[in-house]
Amino acid sequence: AQTVTQSQPEMSVQEAETVTLSCTYDTSESDYYLFWYKQPPSRQMILVIRQEAYKQQNATENRFSVNFQKAAKSFSLKISDSQLGDAAMYFCASRGSQGNLIFGKGTKLSVKP
């Protein structure tokens, strides 16, 4: 079975600083996709960034980037120049065999002004 593990229940970062959220996963698929989603208090699920496993280059989206270590099955999210609006729950996810998403338990990120 596929699993996604986020070992940091909570993280805190100073505004304008950089923070890294950790995620490890386990899958038997040879080709797969990984995602980071943000869930603010409104509980909307917002896609932050995605990575195709066959691509060696790490995905980047403005202030968000990932460190994808395929051999280690690690997929961490780096947020640069943190902003107050970045405060939210962050979920790491992998794509399941039916196209569904398998989520980690989440990391609550607080941003201090």
Partner 1 sequence: GAVVSQHPSWVICKSGTSVKIECRSLDFQATTMFWYRQFPKQSLMLMATSNEGSKATYEQGVEKDKFLINHASLTLSTLTVTSAHPEDSSFYICSASHGQGFQPQHFGDGTRLSIL
Chain residues in the site for partner 1 (CB under 8 A): 33, 42-45, 47, 50, 52, 91, 96, 98-106
Displacement of CA 84 from its chain's centroid (Å): 18
User: Closer CB to partner 1, residue 14 or residue 40?
Assistant: 40
User: Closer CB to partner 1, residue 52 or residue 81?
Assistant: 52
Q: Cα–Cα distances in Å, from 65 out to 2, 21, 79, 99, 100?
A: 23, 11, 7, 23, 23
In whole angstroms, the minimum distance from the beta carbon of 11 to partner 1 comes to: 15
In whole angstroms, the minimum distance from the beta carbon of 2 to partner 1 comes to: 11
User: Closer CB to partner 1, residue 79 or residue 92?
Assistant: 92
Q: Residue 112 and residue 95: Cα distance in Å, rounded?
A: 32
